[in-house]
């Protein structure tokens, strides 16, 4: 297996529990021994699909106490006013902020504790010869290159997957990388001197500003990690906001209530890297019975639905079920996995792109708010038939491709409700019932 990020050790654990021995090769050093960045975002939103996988492998109870529930989006207006838009209507419909590094370390510990998994750090895959069954690694601590024979290889090596590159070259599979054109930069709202959160901890904070946005998720040390999602180039972009004055002008005009919360804003803005964002579409996700892609390697998605990791964890759960059903028949397992999951990967990639518009812009739009009100009313009227799209994605295990289709139908139903009564006050139950059947 290539990559000991979030997906690799989880999948290795699923396989180890089924008696398989797994060797993971990871290009970084061991973050449990050396202080290195876990890469990308400092914290993540964990929801039902991720939690379900953690429960299946027995890690949920260990992770849960260190997560922070977020009940909804706390919208920060330009004038500093805030309002909470709940994610769901039921008590348990919350998502959880979790530390990426801590989760990654626990996943690695769990995998190794099975006794069937070893992790080789400082091994960077350079290429895979799928015909000759050989992997070529660069050892980052000695600059030596080594060849490693394999029988079967699974790529959990993230959005810039080298294994994917080898499969694309070998098998001529369909592959598209769609850059977003926007990148991200992380900033910090530290804890108060008294050791408390500076803003409401049980919410995901959003400063939606039309073409871009700032968000903040709570951490266990009472700080928040903020992420500015911003165009890479253009009039107002990472390209044009660089100097102290430009940074302060942007924050004073667009995020005025955040300035006092971030004492190191300018320093962090200038020091912290800009991450790029892209969606990856490829099909299929395997080559014969030899190589498979999973997690971001198969379907990197932009982070606006908070689903990249959750989708990757659901992949692992799905693959494990296929392993149970088709013991040792890897041709069938890989083929069935690709057939079942590719459309789901594409659907969450598309929904995540749509959600960027919703988060950075629509949440402030009265038309969006009215639609959301009707959506929640319809859920109360038809609790088994009408589950809002956000809830289907975040609080259920319904395949994403199905969610995408159901979401389109719901959009039309709400359109018809508004056509019948533009105020949205009156809902023709019989009409909706007919459209739902």
Question: Shortest gap between Cβ of 114 and ligand FAD (angstroms)?
Answer: 18
Q: Is 2 in the site for ligand FAD (CB under 6 A)?
A: yes
Report the C-alpha gap between 291 and 130 in whole angstroms.
8
Beginning with the edge strand found earlier in the chain, give each strand of the sheet holding 291-293 in spatial order: 153-155, 291-293, 286-287
Q: How many residues bind ligand FAD (CB under 6 A)?
A: 34
Which of 5, 218, 388, 399 binds ligand FAD (CB under 6 A)? It is 5
Q: Is 41 in the site for ligand FAD (CB under 6 A)?
A: yes
Per-residue CA distances from 427 to 309, 413, 431 (Å): 37, 11, 8
Report the C-alpha gap between 388 and 19 in whole angstroms.
40
> Which of these, 88, 10, 2, 3, lies nearest to 310 by C-alpha position?
10
Which range touches ligand FAD (CB under 6 A), out of 154-162, 218-226, 377-385, 429-437? 154-162
| Contact pattern from residue 129 through residue 148 relative to ligand FAD, giving x for each residue in contact according to CB under 6 A and a dash for the rest | --------------------
Q: Is 203 in the site for ligand FAD (CB under 6 A)?
A: no
Question: Shortest gap between Cβ of 306 and ligand FAD (angstroms)?
Answer: 4
Which range touches ligand FAD (CB under 6 A), out of 150-158, 281-289, 392-400, 420-428? 150-158
Question: Shortest gap between Cβ of 369 and ligand FAD (angstroms)?
Answer: 24
Which of 27, 76, 360, 389 binds ligand FAD (CB under 6 A)? It is 27
> Which of these, 185, 224, 187, lies nearest to 202 by C-alpha position?
224
Which range touches ligand FAD (CB under 6 A), out of 2-10, 218-226, 245-253, 365-373? 2-10
Q: For residue 143, report the phi and psi dihedrals to the nearest 5 degrees.
A: 65, 10
Which of 1, 12, 25, 226 binds ligand FAD (CB under 6 A)? It is 25
Q: Is 7 in the site for ligand FAD (CB under 6 A)?
A: yes
| Contact pattern from residue 271 through residue 310 relative to ligand FAD, giving x for each residue in contact according to CB under 6 A and a dash for the rest | ----x-------------------xxx-----x--xxxxx
Q: Which is nearer to ligand FAD, 2 or 414 (CB)?
A: 2
* Matching residue, tokens 């266990």: 220
Per-residue CA distances from 159 to 300, 302, 311, 361, 432 (Å): 5, 10, 13, 27, 41
In the three-class reduction of DSSP (H, G, I as helix; E, B as strand; rest coil), residue 277 is classed as strand
Residue number of the CB atom closest to ligand FAD: 5
Which of 1, 15, 22, 44 binds ligand FAD (CB under 6 A)? It is 44
Question: Shortest gap between Cβ of 2 and ligand FAD (angstroms)?
Answer: 5
Question: Shortest gap between Cβ of 193 and ligand FAD (angstroms)?
Answer: 29
Q: Is 201 in the site for ligand FAD (CB under 6 A)?
A: no
* Matching residue, tokens 């799905």: 318
Residue 368: both structure tokens together: 């969006």
**Length of the chain, in residues:** 437
| Contact pattern from residue 158 through residue 177 relative to ligand FAD, giving x for each residue in contact according to CB under 6 A and a dash for the rest | x---x---------------
Q: For residue 418, report the phi and psi dihedrals to the nearest 5 degrees.
A: -70, -30
Long-range pairs, 349-352, Cβ under 8 A, ≥24: 349/279, 349/280, 349/281, 349/299, 349/300, 349/301, 349/302, 350/404, 351/305, 351/307, 351/389, 351/393, 351/400, 351/403, 351/404, 351/407, 352/279, 352/301, 352/302, 352/303, 352/304, 352/305, 352/307, 352/308
Report the C-alpha gap between 154 and 408 in whole angstroms.
34
Report DSSP state, residue 254: H
Report DSSP state, residue 360: H
Q: Is 45 in the site for ligand FAD (CB under 6 A)?
A: yes
Instruction: Name residues contacting ligand FAD, limited to 366-425 (CB under 6 A).
Output: none
Q: Is 322 in the site for ligand FAD (CB under 6 A)?
A: no
Question: Shortest gap between Cβ of 345 and ligand FAD (angstroms)?
Answer: 11
Q: Which residue ranges make up the site for ligand FAD (CB under 6 A)?
A: 2-8, 25-28, 40-41, 44-45, 124-125, 156-158, 162, 184, 227, 275, 295-297, 303, 306-310, 312
């Amino acid at each position: 297996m290539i990559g000991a990020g979030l997906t690799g050790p989880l999948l290795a654990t699923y396989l180890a529990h089924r008696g398989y021995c797994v060797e993971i090769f990871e290009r970084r050093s061991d973050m449990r021994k050396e202080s290195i960045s876990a890469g990308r975002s400092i914290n993540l939103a964990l929801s039902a699909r991720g939690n379900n996988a953690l429960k299946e492998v027995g890690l949920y109870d260990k992770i849960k106490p260190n997560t922070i529930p977020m009940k909804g989006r706390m919208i920060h207006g330009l004038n500093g006013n805030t309002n909470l838009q709940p994610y769901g209507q039921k008590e348990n419909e919350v998502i959880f902020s979790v530390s990426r590094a801590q989760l990654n370390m626990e996943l690695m510990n769990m995998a190794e504790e099975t006794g069937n998994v070893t992790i080789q750090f400082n091994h960077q895959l350079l290429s895979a010869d799928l015909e000759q069954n050989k992997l070529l690694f660069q050892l980052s601590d000695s600059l030596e290159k080594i060849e490693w024979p394999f029988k079967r290889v699974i790529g959990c090596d993230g959005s810039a997957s080298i294994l994917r590159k080898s499969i694309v070259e070998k098998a001529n599979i369909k592959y598209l990388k769609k850059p977003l054109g926007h990148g991200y930069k992380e900033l910090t709202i530290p804890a108060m001197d008294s050791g408390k959160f500076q803003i409401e901890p049980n919410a995901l904070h959003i400063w939606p500003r039309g073409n871009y946005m700032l968000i903040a998720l709570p951490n266990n040390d009472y700080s928040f990690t903020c992420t500015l999602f911003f165009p890479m180039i253009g009039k107002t972009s990472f390209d044009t906001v660089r100097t102290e004055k430009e940074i302060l002008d942007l924050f004073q005009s667009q995020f005025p209530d955040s300035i006092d919360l971030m004492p190191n804003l300018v320093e962090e803005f200038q020091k912290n890297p800009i991450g790029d964002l892209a969606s990856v579409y490829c099909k299929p996700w395997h080559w014969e019975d030899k190589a498979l892609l999973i997690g971001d390697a198969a379907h990197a998605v932009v982070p606006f639905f908070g689903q990249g990791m959750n989708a990757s964890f659901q992949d692992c759960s799905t693959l494990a079920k296929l392993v149970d059903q088709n013991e040792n028949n890897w041709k069938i397992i890989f083929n069935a996995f690709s057939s079942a999951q590719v459309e789901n990967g594409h659907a969450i990639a598309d929904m995540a792109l749509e959600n960027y518009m919703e988060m950075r812009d629509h949440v402030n739009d009265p038309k969006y708010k009215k639609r959301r009100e009707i959506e929640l009313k319809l859920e109360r009227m038809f609790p088994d038939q009408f589950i809002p799209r956000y809830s289907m994605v975040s609080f259920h295990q319904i395949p994403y491709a199905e969610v995408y289709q159901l979401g389109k139908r719901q959009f039309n139903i709400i359109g018809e409700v508004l056509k019948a009564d533009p105020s949205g006050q009156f809902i023709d139950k019989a009409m909706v019932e007919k459209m739902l059947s």
